[in-house]
Amino acid sequence: MTADTPTPYIEIRDVTMAYGSNVIQRDLNFTIHQGDIFVIMGGSGCGKSTLLKHMLGLIPPSSGDILYEGTSFFQSGAAEQGAMRQDWGITYQSGGLFSAMTLAENITLPLELYTSYTPAEITDIVAYKLALVGLAGYQSYYPSEISGGMQKRAALARAIALDPKILFFDEPSAGLDPISSRLLDELIVQIKESMGATVVMVTHELPSIFAIATNSVYLDNITRTMIAYGNPADLRDHSPQPVVRQFLTRSAAAATLDQP
C-alpha cells in the first residue's frame, strides 16, 4: 500500500452469504474508506439488505470475514463486538422509531443505555440532535403525529445520538417524494461532514446515488456475486458490464419498480 492509498476502514473479505444451501452472494471482496458515502446497489432480490445485516453483525457469513479498522467483527468477543456497535448509527427503511415513545424519548433511549450523562445533559443533547435534523421543538411529538419525511429525520437524529463513526442506512429515501428525498440526501451529507462519519447505504434511488455516493458495489442476482465496484458515475459511463450500465441509466418509472 502506497502513501497515497487510503487505509481500508471496512473490509469485506471473501464473504459468501447463504441460507442453508441457497447461496445469495459469493466471493464478495471490497473495501470502504473513512469518509466514504458508500452505496450497496443491485436489482431486486440480489441481497443488498442481507449484506447490510452481515455488516451489522446480525448474520454471520457462511464464509469469509468482515473487518472494521483491521479488526474482525465475527472473531471478536461479545464485549468487543458491543464496543464496535457503539460506534455505529443505524436507520431502517420504515424509520424504526418506537411508536409509543415521543421523539425525545426515542433519542434519549441510547443515551440512557450507553452513556453516563445526567438527565439534564441528555435533554440538551436531544434538543441539539433534533435541531441538527431540522426538528427543533418537536421533542414531545409522537411518530404518528409527523410526516414520513420528518420521521426519517427523527430516525437520523436517534442514529447520531452517540456520535457514531459509521452510519448505516437501509433505503433511507423509500416512500418519500422527490423533494423530501433530496432534502434527506443533503442532510445525510451535512451530518456526515460535521461528524466526520463514514456512510454505508443500501438504495435503489438513482438521484441519491449520483448526488451523494463517492463509491459503490453492484451485486448481481444472476451470477450471485459482485460485478462492479467504483464511483457510480464512472460505472454508469464506463462499466464493461451492460447490466450495470442499464441499472444506472434506467428510467424513473423503472427505478420505482426496482424495490429491494
Mind listing the pLDDT tens digit for each residue in 102-141?
999 999 999 999 999 999 999 999 999 999 999 999 999 9
Q: On the CB side of 47, how many CA atoms lie within 13 Å of its CA?
A: 26
CB atoms within 10 A of CB 206: 20
User: Mean pLDDT, to the nearest integer, of 29-52?
Assistant: 94
Q: Tell me what pLDDT residue 92 has.
A: 82
* Residue 105, domain member (yes or no): yes
d(CA 162, CA 82): 14
At residue 149 the predicted structure's pLDDT band, cuts being 50, 70 and 90, is confident
d(CA 10, CA 7): 9
d(CA 253, CA 242): 19
d(CA 226, CA 13): 12
* Residue 6, domain member (yes or no): no
User: Mean pLDDT, to the nearest integer, of 184-198?
Assistant: 92
* Residue 1, domain member (yes or no): no
Mean pLDDT of the chain: 90
* Residue 253, domain member (yes or no): yes
Q: Tell me what pLDDT residue 5 has.
A: 55
Predicted TM-score (pTM) of the model is: 0.89
Q: Which amino acid is at 21?
A: S
Percent of the chain having pLDDT more than 90?
A: 80
Strand partners, 71: 68
Q: Tell me what pLDDT residue 253 has.
A: 40
Q: Tell me what pLDDT residue 90 has.
A: 92
Task: Tell me the pLDDT tens digit for each residue of 217-257.
Answer: 999 999 999 999 999 999 999 999 999 999 999 864 444 44
Q: Tell me what pLDDT residue 251 has.
A: 60
Task: Tell me the pLDDT tens digit for each residue of 44-74.
Answer: 889 999 999 999 999 999 999 999 999 999 9
Nearest to 86 by CA among 164, 161, 9: 164
* Residue 154, domain member (yes or no): yes
Strand 37-42 relative to strand 22-33, pairing: unpaired
| Residue reference for cell 437501509 | 170
Domain that holds residue 209: 35-47+86-257
How many domains does the chain contain in total?
A: 1
Q: Tell me what pLDDT residue 227 has.
A: 97
Residue 259 pLDDT greater than 70, yes or no: no
* Residue 13, domain member (yes or no): no
d(CA 197, CA 36): 8
* Residue 204, domain member (yes or no): yes
* Residue 20, domain member (yes or no): no
Residue 12 pLDDT greater than 50, yes or no: yes
| Residue reference for cell 430516525 | 155
Q: In what order do the strands lie in the sheet with 22-33?
A: 22-33, 8-19, 63-68, 71-72
DSSP state of 176: -
Q: What is the CATH number of the domain that holds 133?
A: 3.40.50.300
Structure-block grid coordinates of residue 91: 436507520
d(CA 226, CA 217): 7
Q: Tell me what pLDDT residue 148 has.
A: 87
d(CA 83, CA 190): 26
